[in-house]
Every structure is written in C-alpha cells, then in structure tokens.
C-alpha cells in the first residue's frame, strides 16, 4: 500500500485535531510522508470538525480525492460524510452506546463499530481519552506507526506525569484490544512501515512555514492583527523574533500593522505583516503608499471565504484581483503564489529579496488549504538562503532618492545615513528629489519609472515550471494550492496516456506573458481551475495575454480534488 | 554635509522648500518653535525623522532638513511607531492636524498612547479642515458652520484632545498656542526631552476657514496653568483639561510621568528570551522535527 487517506470527524473540542496531529507526527517518524487537511467550525467549541491525513511512501501533491477510511466520532459526522462512503471504503464509528443509535450497514463499505465513548467513559473513566481509543484502533487496523505513536504519547504527556501517560497509553491499548477481539478485518488497507525516517525531515504547517520562511528570509520586524486563518503566522513570529533580537508588534488593526511595517521598512528593516482577505482590504490604501514611496515590504495573505466575514475557516482563492489590482491608482506590486508548504518557506523568503531588489510591496498568496495543512517536508538549510538587500545610497552630495534609472530601481538612503541622503518619503507624486510635483511630464516619468521595475522583474525572473512536454490537448494553469491538485491530476491523466500538461507559475503578478503564450501555443485548450466564483486568474490571464482559457471554478469552501480536476480535463478534451 | 563641530542653529533645520501655508497661519509659528526646540536639543539632522499624515499642517516635514515621511491620511502615528520600534536610535517627531489625528486617525491615538511609544506628537489644532476648504473637524465647537455642515455642526460634543490623551495613558500632555511662541518653545523642548509618548496640542488658528475660533479669540482665551498645578496628578490634569474658567483655555504642561516605554518593554522581552542577532537559524528549523 503506498497511499492512504484517513478522515476523522466529530464534535469540535473532542480532540479531533490533536488526534490528527499526533498520528501525522507518528507516521512521519515512521518514514511516511503526510499531508493533512482540516476543517473546523468558527466557534471555539462545538460544531463539526474534521481532520484528514493522507499517508504515502511517495511525495504527496494534494489532499487527494475523498478518503479510504472514515472514523466517525458522532452521528453528525457520520451524516455529513455518508455520501462519501463509496464501496471499498472503511467506516469506523462510535457504536454502541454513543449517539449513533443504529448499527450502520452500507453496501460494499467495511463497517467496524467501536464504542469509543463507552470505553473512554465507562472502562477508563476518562471521557477525554475518546480520541486516544480511536487512534489506537486506527493505528492498529491500518498498520500505521503504532510504536511511534506510543513513543510520542510518552513524550507529549511525560511532563504531565506518569499517571497521564499511563491513562493515554491504556486508552490506545483499549482501542487496539477492542478491534482485536471484536472485529475481523475485511478491508485491504495496510500502510506498513516505510523503513526509517530520513534524518532531514520536518513536519510543519503552511502558516508556520510562512513564519519560518520570513525568518530565513531575514525578516526582523513583524506587525500584525489577529485574523483567521493567518494568526498562526503571527504566533510563530512572536515566538522567534524576540530570540533573534527582532521586533514584534500586535497592532490595533490591519491598517496600523501595515503602517508599522512601512515605518520599519523606511528605517531599513526587512519587515512583514500577515493577514487574510478582510485585513488586506483594509490595507489597500497603505499598499498604494508603499508602491509610490517605493518601500520594500512583504504581506502574506492567507485567503479565506469572502466577501466580508464570509467563511473565516474555509478555503478560497478569491483575493487574486485584490492582490494584483486592489487599491486606488496605478500601484505596481509583486504577487507570489506558493504550491505547498515547502514552497511557502521558499517563496516567503524570496519575497523579501524581491521586495528589497525592486523596492515595492510583495504579496505571498497563501490560502486556507495551505495555511491549515501540515506536511512532512525536507528541512530547509538556512545556509542556502542568500539575502538580497536594497540598493543603498553610498553618501555624498547630489543624491536623488527617486532617480530615474534604466531598471527603474534607484538607491535608497535611510535615517542615520548622512544629511545629504535625507529625503521625505511620500505618497504624493514627486520628482527625483522626492519633492511634490504634479506636472504632466513629471507624473508620466515617475509612474513609468515605477512600472519599469515590473518589466525588469519579468525579464529577470526564472521561467515557470513546466509539467509534461510536447503538444497537448489540454494545458492546465493554476495558482496556489490548486497547483498541487493540478500537478496530481495531470500526472494521473498522463499515466492514462492522455496528452495533458501543466504550467506552474510562482510569479503570478506581473504575469510572465511570454512564457504563458509559449505554453498555450502547444496546447489545444487551456484550462484554469481556481477556487473562486468569478474565475479571477482566468480573467486576468485573458486581459493580459489575450488567451481565452476554459475557466473551472469551485467556491464551496473546499479545495479541488485531483479526481474532480481529472474529470474536467477529460470533459474539455 | 553638516559640520559636526559647529552647533546647529534653528535656521539650520530649515530645508530649501518654502512653506506654503496661508498668510497668518498659526503653523508658521509652530515651525519656528520646532526649529528652536530641535536646535536647543541639537538633534542631529541625519537621525531625526519627522513623520506626518495629510492636511495643511502635515506638510511641515518638507520644510525641515531632517529625514521625513509624509504618510497617508490618519496614519502618521502607526508609521512613526514602526520607525521608532525598529530603530530606537532615531528621534521621531510626528506632526498633524485635528482632522488627521482625531478623526480619520483617531483609532490609532489610544494605542500609541497606552503603549507609550517614545514619540513626540505635535498636533496643530485649528478646529477645522483647511486643506479641503473648511469643514468642521472633531475639535470644532458644536454649531460651527462648515461646507458640509452649512446649518451648523449637529454633533453634540467635540473632542477634548487633552482629556483624550490623558485618559488613554499618554505620559506627557501639554497645550500651547501659536500666538505664545516663548511658552511653545519651552513646551516642545520638554516634550522632546520626555521619555515616552508626548502629546503637545498647539492651538494654531486657521484665518482662512475658521471664523469662530480666531486668533483674537484664542489670544483672549489663553491663560497659563496655575503656578501650583501639580503635573504629576492625573486627576488634576483632567480637571484642568475639562474645567478651565469660563471662556478660558489653559496652556502649559498638564501632565508628565515616567513609565516604561514600549521600546523598553520590548527590550526586556528580548533580553528574557536571550536575544541573539546571530542565533543559529538551524534551531528555528529543527524545532519542527517530528
């Protein structure tokens, strides 16, 4: 067995998330790759929560399609997932003596009742151990990292004392023993060991990855306002920046957090904020200021369901228009699009280099799927991150902060340099010396200067990654986490002998028009899947490249599955 | 280049850009006092940063030779905080008007004050929006006629900037008048000296658009705080801010106290975390080992 997806569903607060985290971590220790996916209610406690882990001996590209095993902690979870229980899949459910009242029989589905509530409550007298009973059963039945799981429990609860460790281990064993004694395994799912864990593996969430990428990219000033689903980025920065003698600010709102970042950048810092759509909406005015004052800074936007408060805990990719074009006036900015957790580390670090090199805001467009998931990845080597710093004023008379140059980039001074370097950074249109100037000639000259930097960037930036070669019937272009789904769907299609390829751009704005056109020239149909209702990437691409792609839109709060996308590829062929 | 051996005079702080305020504007006087205060402290031109928002008074940084940041409407305080918190070595002074700081930017003031970010804020309060040609502001006297309030401001109350600052924890609160330059020089010097957030409200009349709170009105209204005013007493300060004698306005230093600044608090946190700029980043990576 090389690939297995287990889903656990239940009431928020029942330990679903911690159980999922634990089995993912244990599996990573056993040498497996993991990619997790969770949905949870906006409430702190109560409401339906789901945690899914995909295990594989190979590299994992996406959440996958559906699940092989579903573990229902209660009736609501069972009802919500009943439609996904296809023949050949497995159901483990809390029965008898839980709130599921009848034995479940579904044609072709391997159904194993497990009275996890009763075992926890009556046998162990510790209701909170219900998730451990389930973990034991899952780990045993599908041969996933049982020893590693027990070791992990000992470490995790060791601080709380022998008693807690013993109770949790007892719960795990109770789950195992119940299955041993009462259930005959009829399903074929058995993960098995992947041998030894590679030495250089880490397990990290997308949001933590944004924080780690920032730290590796030299970020030493961070200011943010709490917002789902981006708060974990701030949590990470808050933990590590003080250790690095950096500055961490919790601002009064998102406008202030970006304002803090602008001030820090003006004074020379590599500075960042993180937010989600509602926060990015508030930041639009100051994003324009960063663009016209030509200040380097990074914004990580973890997109969620919008507009307004929308669906804070759900996945969506609907901030693309805003990221590329939001705000008033003509304000150049760079937008990067990571595909997976490892990519977030790489691109967030790179965002600082691009911001410094081109002196403008750089947005990293993460999304709910990326932010909340954890993946086992190869650990990044800090020594491999080279920091590019802004072109600096070197002293002397005659300095012009906004000197027009062939690349559009002009050297920056900062407070503490000499007096001849002093200038007023400004949101007003200005001349080369940064003095306000609204003449038609000056306006055009400086607007062009700022956009020139994007031209320079497009010229210098590496070509987008190509998957597949030759001529194709369908070429897929997507962004963010959808790229991972595209990658898997295209691999599946090609394995079936279909002529399908994909382009995976990391630089989403400005668009790499020539590369996209060259790719499109080799494809009969271009398909653009994305998680928003308007087909934002398709529309931007249409406007900028003149290519008219088939737009495939999903906006139900969930990411695409590879099978869903594969079906669409076949449909448009 | 400025010679480091010679003392800087007030005029050495002026840039070559001509101030563009209306004739008779109180802001000219504020600019003079700012130069005097800078010279009195010998603030280095290259490590002083003047930050402003949008409005007539927010143009002030252009007229000075120091580094500066003319930000967006209402955002001077959080931008200035970013400068100061990332570079505590810099002297950061903020300028703006009553609309900029108490209307559109009013949400930032309480937090900068309570966090005690070490900034000096000089507000030029003219009780009106001047740059947009005469609308009532949060400090306008109720009933003031403005272009969007032609039948008089329907608001019940106006903002009392001093009481606002005192309530939110500002550690230095003073009021001056552009028509009393000597006192203003002294107040600004004290404000720059203060460690922590200092707020100086300067009544700076707008001759063009404010026909109610005119220079003559303020000249007659301004009186010094009583000699026995205890500037260490918050309640007394609030009382003087709320209850000056009828028809009068107090000027002087209402309140001053020394509390830890945000920079000091952040430094303490970093110290506790054994802050090390050269920390081995492998530690931050390996924290994620399974």
pLDDT for the residue numbered B1 = 44
% chain A with pLDDT above 90: 93
Q: Do B288 and A203 touch (CB under 8 A)?
A: yes
Q: Choose, out of A327, A348, A424, A429, the residue to mutate when testing the contact with B (most B CBs < 10 Å).
A: A424
pLDDT tens-digit map of B202-222: 999 998 998 888 888 888 899
Mind telling me how many Å the CA of B12 is from chain A's nearest CA?
A: 12
pLDDT for the residue numbered A515 = 98
Q: Which residue has the tokens 């946190």?
A: B269
Q: Do A415 and B75 touch (CB under 8 A)?
A: no
Find the CB nearest A264 among B86, B282, B289: B86
pLDDT for the residue numbered A195 = 77
Cite the DSSP H helix spans in A359-405. 368-372
CA B206 from centroid of its chain's CA atoms:
18
- Is residue B231 domain-resident? yes
Give one DSSP letter per residue of A452-472, joined into a string: HHHHHHHHHSPPPEEES-S-E
Q: Do A424 and B68 touch (CB under 8 A)?
A: yes
pLDDT tens-digit map of A109-168: 999 999 999 999 999 888 889 999 999 999 999 999 999 999 999 999 999 999 999 999
pLDDT for the residue numbered B5 = 64
**Range A203-384 classified under CATH 3.40.50.970:** yes
Q: Do B83 and A263 touch (CB under 8 A)?
A: yes
Q: Which residue of B has its CA nearest to A223?
A: B82
pLDDT tens-digit map of B104-162: 999 999 999 999 999 999 999 999 999 999 999 999 999 999 999 999 999 999 999 99
Find the CB nearest A259 among B79, B279, B281: B79
On the question of pLDDT at A489 being above 50, the answer is yes
CA separation for the pair A276, A489 (Å, rounded): 28
% chain A with pLDDT above 70: 99
Q: Do A245 and B290 touch (CB under 8 A)?
A: no
pLDDT for the residue numbered B2 = 47
Task: Determine the average pLDDT of the residues in A460-466.
Answer: 98
Cis before A307 (ω within 30): yes
Adjacent-strand bridge partners of A477: A503
Mind telling me how many Å the CA of A332 is from chain B's nearest CA?
A: 17
Round to the nearest angstrom and report the end-to-end CA distance of chain A: 32
Q: Do B284 and A212 touch (CB under 8 A)?
A: yes
CA separation for the pair A103, A67 (Å, rounded): 21
Mind telling me how many Å the CA of A430 is from chain B's nearest CA?
A: 12
- Chain B residues whose beta carbon lies within 8 Å of the beta carbon of residue A260: 78-79, 81-82, 85
- Is residue B216 domain-resident? yes
Q: How many angstroms separate the Cα of A237 from the Cα of each of A213, A243, A275, A507, B91?
A: 10, 10, 13, 25, 27
Q: Do B1 and A419 touch (CB under 8 A)?
A: yes
CA dihedral A94, A99, A103, A107 (to 10 degrees): -80
pLDDT for the residue numbered B47 = 97
Q: Give residue A477's pLDDT band: very low, low, confident or very high (50, 70, 90).
A: very high
Nearest alpha carbon to residue B125 among B210, B221, B191, B242 = B210
Q: What is the domain class of A465-572 according to CATH?
A: alpha beta
- Is residue B26 domain-resident? yes
Q: Which two three-digit tokens encode residue A175?
A: 């789950």
Asked whether the domain spanning A465-572 has the same topology as the one spanning A3-182, the reply is no
Residue with more model confidence, A315 or A198: A315
CA separation for the pair A164, A291 (Å, rounded): 55
Q: Which residue of B has its CA nearest to A422?
A: B67
Q: Do A242 and B275 touch (CB under 8 A)?
A: yes
**Number of structural domains, chain B?**
1
Find the CB nearest B78 among A202, A259, A268: A259
Q: Give residue A1's pLDDT band: very low, low, confident or very high (50, 70, 90).
A: low
Find the CB nearest B281 among A253, A382, A423: A382
Q: Do B290 and A25 touch (CB under 8 A)?
A: yes
CA separation for the pair B208, B127 (Å, rounded): 12
pLDDT for the residue numbered A210 = 98
Q: Which residue has the tokens 């634990």?
A: A22
Give one DSSP letter per residue of A45-64, joined into a string: SSSEEEEEEEEESS---SS-
- Chain A residues whose beta carbon lies within 8 Å of the beta carbon of residue B269: 242
Size of interface A-B (CB pairs under 8 A): 196
Nearest alpha carbon to residue A234 among A221, A224, A246 = A224
Please state, as a whole number, how many other Cβ atoms lie within 10 Å of the Cβ of residue A312: 17
On the question of pLDDT at A464 being above 80, the answer is yes
Q: Where are the beta strands (DSSP E) in B77-134?
A: 91-97, 120-125, 128-129
Q: Which residue has the tokens 């809390």?
A: A94
CA separation for the pair A572, A570 (Å, rounded): 6
CA separation for the pair A350, A364 (Å, rounded): 10
Q: Do A202 and B266 touch (CB under 8 A)?
A: no
Nearest alpha carbon to residue B282 among A216, A161, A541 = A216
pLDDT tens-digit map of B53-65: 999 999 999 999 9
3-class SS of residue B235:
helix
Mind telling me how many Å the CA of A74 is from chain B's nearest CA?
A: 30
Q: Do A419 and B45 touch (CB under 8 A)?
A: yes
Q: Do A215 and B66 touch (CB under 8 A)?
A: no
CB of B39 within 8 A of CB of B10?
A: yes
Task: Determine the average pLDDT of the residues in B80-97.
Answer: 98
Q: Which residue has the tokens 């990391």?
A: A506
Q: Which two three-digit tokens encode residue A40?
A: 């949870």
pLDDT tens-digit map of A89-102: 999 999 999 899 99
Angle, in degrees to the nearest 10, between helices B27-41 and B181-193: 50
The DSSP element (H or E) to which A352 belongs, if any, is helix A341-358
Q: How many angstroms separate the Cα of A287 from the Cα of each of A217, A225, A282, B42?
A: 21, 16, 10, 35
Q: Which two three-digit tokens encode residue A216?
A: 């590796």
CA dihedral B175, B177, B180, B186 (to 10 degrees): 30
- Is residue B150 domain-resident? yes
pLDDT tens-digit map of B252-289: 999 999 999 999 999 999 999 999 999 999 999 999 99
- Is residue B102 domain-resident? yes
Q: Do B69 and A424 touch (CB under 8 A)?
A: yes
pLDDT for the residue numbered A134 = 97
What is the residue-averaged pLDDT of chain A? 96
- Chain B residues whose beta carbon lies within 8 Å of the beta carbon of residue A223: 82
Most distant CA atoms of chain A, gap in Å = 86
Task: Determine the average pLDDT of the residues in A211-220.
Answer: 98
Most distant CA atoms of chain B, gap in Å = 74
Find the CB nearest A263 among B54, B69, B289: B69
Q: Which residue of A has its CA nearest to B104?
A: A255
- Chain A residues whose beta carbon lies within 8 Å of the beta carbon of residue B272: 242
Mind telling me how many Å the CA of B170 is from chain A's nearest CA?
A: 16
In this structure, what CATH number is given to the domain that contains residue B201? 3.40.50.970
CA separation for the pair A390, A419 (Å, rounded): 19
% chain B with pLDDT above 90: 91
The domain in which residue B62 lies consists of: 10-260
ipTM over 0.90: yes
Q: Give residue A373's pLDDT band: very low, low, confident or very high (50, 70, 90).
A: very high
Q: Which two three-digit tokens encode residue A140?
A: 């045993």
Q: Choose, out of B76, B78, B91, the residue to mutate when testing the contact with A (most A CBs < 10 Å).
A: B78
- Is residue B5 domain-resident? no
- Is residue B192 domain-resident? yes
Q: Give residue B4's pLDDT band: very low, low, confident or very high (50, 70, 90).
A: low
CA separation for the pair A34, B89 (Å, rounded): 47
Find the CB nearest A427 among B48, B71, B108: B71
- Fold classification of A3-182 is Pyruvate-ferredoxin Oxidoreductase; domain 3 (3.40.920)
Break chain A into its structural domains and give their ranges: 3-182, 203-384, 465-572
pLDDT for the residue numbered B213 = 83
Q: How many angstroms separate the Cα of B250 from the Cα of each of B127, B171, B185?
A: 16, 18, 16
């Amino acid at each position: 067995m090389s690939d297995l997806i287990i889903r656990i569903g239940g009431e928020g607060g029942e330990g679903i998330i911690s159980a999922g985290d634990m089995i993912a971590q244990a599996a990573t220790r056993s040498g497996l790759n993991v990619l997790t996916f969770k949905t949870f209610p906006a409430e702190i406690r109560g409401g339906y929560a789901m945690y899914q882990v995909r295990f594989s001996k190979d590299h994992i590209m996406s959440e996958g399609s559906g699940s092989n095993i579903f573990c229902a902690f209660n009736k609501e979870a069972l009802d919500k997932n009943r439609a996904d229980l296809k023949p050949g899949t497995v159901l483990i459910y809390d029965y008898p003596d839980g709130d599921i009242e009848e034995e479940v029989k579904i044609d072709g589905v391997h159904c194993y009742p497990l009275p996890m509530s009763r075992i926890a409550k009556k046998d162990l007298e510790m209701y909170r151990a219900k998730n451990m009973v389930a973990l034991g059963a899952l780990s045993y039945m599908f041969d996933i990292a049982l020893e590693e799981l027990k070791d992990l429990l000992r470490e995790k609860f060791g601080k709380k004392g022998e008693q807690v460790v013993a109770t949790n281990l007892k719960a795990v064993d109770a789950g195992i023993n119940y299955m041993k004694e009462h259930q005959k395994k009829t399903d074929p799912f058995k993960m098995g060991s992947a041998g030894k864990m590679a030495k250089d593996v880490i397990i990290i969430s997308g949001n933590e990855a944004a924080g780690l990428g920032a730290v590796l990219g030299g970020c030493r000033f961070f200011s943010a306002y709490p917002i789902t689903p981006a708060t974990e980025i701030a949590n990470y920065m808050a933990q590590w920046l003080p250790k690095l003698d950096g500055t961490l600010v919790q601002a009064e709102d998102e406008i202030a957090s970006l304002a803090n970042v602008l001030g820090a950048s003006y004074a020379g810092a590599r500075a960042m904020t993180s937010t989600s759509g509602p926060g990015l909406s508030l930041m639009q005015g100051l994003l324009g200021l960063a663009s016209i004052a030509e200040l380097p800074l990074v914004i990580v936007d973890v997109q969620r369901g919008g507009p307004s408060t929308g669906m804070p805990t759900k996945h969506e990719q609907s901030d693309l228009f805003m990221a590329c074009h939001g705000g008033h006036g003509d304000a150049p900015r760079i937008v990067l699009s990571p595909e997976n957790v490892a990519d977030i580390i790489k691109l967030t670090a790179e965002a600082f280099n691009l911001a410094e090199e081109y002196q403008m805001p750089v947005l990293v467009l993460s999304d709910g799927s990326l932010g909340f998931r954890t993946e086992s990845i190869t650990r990044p080597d800090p020594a491999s991150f080279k920091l590019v710093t802004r072109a600096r004023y070197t002293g002397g008379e005659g300095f012009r902060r906004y000197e027009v140059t062939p690349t559009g980039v002009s050297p920056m001074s900062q407070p503490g340099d000499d007096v001849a370097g002093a200038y007023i950074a400004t949101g007003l249109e200005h001349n080369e010396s940064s003095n306000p100037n609204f003449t038609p000639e000056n306006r055009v000259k400086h607007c062009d200067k700022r956009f020139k930097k994007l031209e320079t960037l497009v010229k210098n930036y590496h070509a987008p990654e190509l998957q597949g070669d030759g001529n194709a019937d369908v070429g897929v272009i997507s962004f963010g986490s959808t790229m991972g789904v595209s990658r898997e769907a295209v691999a599946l299609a090609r394995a079936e002998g279909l002529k399908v390829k994909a382009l995976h751009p990391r630089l989403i704005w400005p668009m790499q028009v020539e590369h996209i056109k060259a790719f499109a020239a080799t494809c009969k149909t271009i398909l653009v899947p994305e998680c928003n209702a308007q087909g934002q990437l398709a529309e931007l691409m249409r406007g900028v490249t003149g290519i008219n792609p088939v737009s495939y839109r999903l906006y139900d709060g969930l990411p695409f599955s590879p099978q869903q996308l594969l079906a669409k590829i076949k449909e448009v062929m | 280049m400025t010679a480091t051996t010679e003392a800087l005079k007030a005029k050495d702080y002026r840039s070559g850009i001509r101030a563009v305020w209306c004739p008779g504007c109180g802001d000219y006087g504020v600019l003079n006092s700012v130069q005097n205060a800078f010279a009195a402290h010998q603030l280095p031109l290259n490590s002083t940063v003047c930050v402003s928002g949008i409005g007539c008074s927010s143009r002030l940084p252009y007229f000075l030779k120091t580094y500066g940041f003319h930000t967006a409407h209402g955002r001077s305080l959080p931008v200035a905080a970013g400068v100061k918190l990332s570079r505590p070595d810099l002297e950061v002074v903020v300028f703006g008007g009553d609309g900029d700081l108490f209307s559109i930017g009013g949400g930032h003031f309480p937090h900068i004050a309570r966090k005690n970010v070490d900034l000096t804020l000089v507000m030029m309060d003219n009780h009106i929006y001047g740059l947009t040609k005469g609308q009532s502001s949060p400090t306008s006297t109720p009933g003031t006629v403005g272009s969007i309030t032609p039948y008089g401001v329907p608001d019940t109350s106006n903002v009392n900037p001093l009481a606002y600052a005192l309530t939110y924890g500002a550690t230095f609160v003073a009021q001056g008048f552009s028509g009393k330059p000597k006192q203003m020089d002294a107040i600004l010097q004290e404000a720059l000296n203060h460690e922590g957030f200092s707020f100086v409200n300067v009544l700076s009349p707008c001759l063009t658009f404010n026909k109610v709170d005119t220079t003559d009105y303020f000249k007659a209204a301004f009186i010094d705080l009583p000699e026995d005013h205890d500037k260490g007493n918050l309640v007394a300060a609030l009382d003087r801010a709320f209850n000056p004698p009828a028809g009068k306005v107090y000027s002087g230093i209402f309140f001053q106290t020394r509390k830890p600044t945000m920079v000091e608090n952040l430094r303490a946190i970093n110290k506790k975390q054994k802050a090390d700029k050269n920390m081995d980043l492998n530690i931050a990576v390996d924290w994620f080992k399974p």
